[in-house]
Amino acid sequence: MSKSPQDVLSQIKDEGIELIDLKFTDIHGKWQHLTLTSDMIEEDSFTEGLAFDGSSIRGWKAINASDMSMVPDASTAWIDPFYKHKTLSMICSIQEPRSGEPYDRCPRALAQKALKYLDSTGIADTAFFGPEPEFFLFDDVRYDSKEGEKILIAKKGYFGDRLVDMATRYKADVSVIEKPWGESFSYEEIKYEIETKKPAIFAIVHAETSSGVLQPLDGIGDVCRKNNCLFLVDAVTSLGALELLIDEWKIDLAYSCSQKGLSCPPGLSPFTMNNRAEEKLSSRKTKVPNWYLDLSLLNKYWGSDRVYHHTAPVNMNFAIREGLRLIANEGLENVWNRHNTNAKKLWNGLESLGMELHVSEDYRLPTLTTVKIPPAVDGDGFRNHLLRNFGIEIGNGLGELSGKVWRIGLMGFNSSEENVDRLLNLFDTELKKYSIFESSTF
């Protein structure tokens, strides 16, 4: 416990253990890289952690392994790993450790272990939480104030709208800056707004799944710190798929999901907060209004004290543990590269077929591509054709983009060259059948 992270790191390297950077943060504001060691993620130790006979669980088939889901919810992202990797994943019912068993048998501890910083505290503080962690952020971090606290939200799509809805319900003093669906904010615009409006929290979506925009975040954290403002990031469609440097970018609070970059079933969300956010939470003068969402209680449950709070969805904890293991095995930077490379392949392929992409390449989102539905094409007809006859689902546009774009997801396990080739092939051969003209020209 008294070793410095550097000491531990050297020791591990001396022992020949492979290190994998996951670049996450911890709650104590020690802005270090998350470093996974291969012994944390080694399959055998995981199997042992599950305490079962691994041989009987291997090799069984996915539901329909020929199906690809390219909708933004990455539906088959959490099917295919079974088939390809024959992993344990989320398939088995797991027990919480029994009383008398060591804490590190706890599935959440195992999952945390996979995400935690290599720091000298020995405490894993990146927590997993129930579905949609957005729902308690404002509750926990706001001060007690009759007037409501000022929250600045930069919205550029559906999930920005949702942040506004949430903050408004908490009676925050909500300011909104807005961009059309398909554009991003510049650093200068955000800086100006933060300096002018002086919010207590600045919130933005990193990867806007509704429009296909990747918001650059570099530098915003510094602006927030200079202006005494917490920096809150929705990383739902970026964690585990795209570069997300929570520490370097000085993000104070971030949440994500299990069913996109992490290739797991939906049901749990990684969530992280640092000491700045924690201080705000602990400075509250009254209890968090909702018992279930009170992080101060949850921390006691999540920590090694294990003070009973609720019965955790343990299967999901193991599923995330396994999703992280797969990422760590591949190597995080390799995963990022895979997502970028496959997205570019898709973009180039679509353009060479004469299709037009909705978002400028400067801030186009690799995990979710919005492609314009050609005017002469029956968009829903083509989508249904792909689904019914080829087992591939792509999404319709959301909100104002409904009927105007298709949304193609390449997330987690589904981001593969093979999937891109298959889809491009079908655009080439099948799309013309859904044109109102006989030819394939759009």
Give, as ranges, the residues between 197 and 226 that touch a second copy (CB under 8 A).
Answer: none
Minimum CB distance to a second copy, residue 148 (Å): 12
Nearest to 398 by CA among 72, 64, 82: 72
Least distance between a second copy and beta carbon 279 (Å): 21
Is 296 one of the binding residues for a second copy (CB under 8 A)? no
CB of 193: closest distance to a second copy in angstroms? 23
**Binding range to a second copy, per CB under 8 A, among 13-21, 113-121, 169-177, 191-199:** 169-177
Of residues 69 and 175, the one with the C-beta less far from a second copy: 69
**8 binds a second copy per the rule CB under 8 A:** no
- Would you count residue 396 as binding a second copy (CB under 8 A)? yes
Given 143, 192, 291, 437, the residue binding a second copy (CB under 8 A): 291
C-beta closer to a second copy: residue 2 or 93: 93
Does 344 bind a second copy (CB under 8 A)? Our answer is no
176 binds a second copy (CB under 8 A): no
18-35 burial code (b ≥16 CB/10 A, e <16): eebebbbbbbeebbbbbb
Min dist. Cβ of residue 94 to a second copy (A): 7
**With binding defined as CB under 8 A, does residue 84 bind a second copy?**
no
Does residue 162 bind a second copy (CB under 8 A)? yes
Within residues 30-49, the interface with a second copy by CB under 8 A covers: none
Q: Which stretch binds a second copy (CB under 8 A): 69-77, 184-192, 324-332, 358-366?
A: 69-77
314-330 vs 332-352: helix axis angle to the nearest 10? 80
Q: Does 18 bind a second copy (CB under 8 A)?
A: no
Min dist. Cβ of residue 13 to a second copy (A): 35
**Contact region for a second copy (CB under 8 A) — 105-113, 162-170, 186-194, 404-412?**
162-170
- Of 293, 343, 357, 373, the residue at the interface with a second copy (CB under 8 A) is 293
Beta bridge partners of 69: 393
Min dist. Cβ of residue 61 to a second copy (A): 4
The answer to whether 256 and 233 are in contact (CB under 8 A) is: no
60/437 with CB nearer a second copy: 60
Say if residues 111 and 40 touch (Cβ distance below 8 Å): no
Question: Is 107 or 182 the residue whose CB approaches a second copy more closely?
Answer: 107
Determine the size of the site formed for a second copy (CB under 8 A).
72
Contact region with a second copy (CB under 8 A), list: 226-234, 281-289, 419-427, 431-439? 281-289
* Nearer residue to a second copy within complex by CB, 221 or 266: 266
Backbone phi and psi for residue 295, each to the nearest 5 degrees, phi listed first: -60, -30
Of 90 and 408, which CB lies nearer to a second copy in the complex structure? 90
Least distance from C-beta 178 to a second copy, angstroms? 19
Least gap, CB of 79 to a second copy (angstroms): 5
- What residues from 91 to 150 belong to the interface with a second copy (CB under 8 A)? 91-96, 98-100, 130-132, 134-136, 139
Figure out which of the listed residues 84, 198, 226, 287 binds a second copy, where binding follows CB under 8 A.
287
Does 257 participate in binding a second copy (rule CB under 8 A)? yes
Residue among 157, 160, 266, 323 that touches a second copy (CB under 8 A): 266
Ranges within 302-341 binding a second copy (CB under 8 A): 310-316
Instruction: Give Cβ neighbours of residue 179 (< 8 Å, ≥ 6 apart).
Output: 154, 155, 156, 185
HEC-encoded secondary structure of the chain: CCCCHHHHHHHHHHCCCCEEECCCCCCCCCCCCCEEEHHHHCHHHHHHHHCCCHHHCCCCCCCCCCCEECCCCCHHHHCHHHHHHCCCCCCCCCCCCCCCCCHHHCHHHHHHHHHCCCCCCCCCCCEEECCCCHHHHHHHHCCCCCCCCEEEEEECCHHHHHHHHHHHHCCCEEEEEECCCCCCCCHHHHHHHHHHHCCCEEEEECEECCCCEECCCCCHHHHHHHCCCEEEEECCCCCCCCCCCCCCCCCCEEECCCCCCCCCCCCCEEEEECHHHHHHHHCCCCCCCCHHHCHHHHHHHHCCCCCCCCCCCHHHHHHHHHHHHHHHHHCHHHHHHHHHHHHHHHHHHHHHCCCCECCCHHHECCCEEEEECCCCECHHHHHHHHHHHHCEECEECCHHHCCCEEEEECCHHHCCHHHHHHHHHHHHHHHHHHECCCCCCC
Establish if 290 lies at the interface with a second copy (CB under 8 A): yes
389 in contact with a second copy (CB under 8 A): no
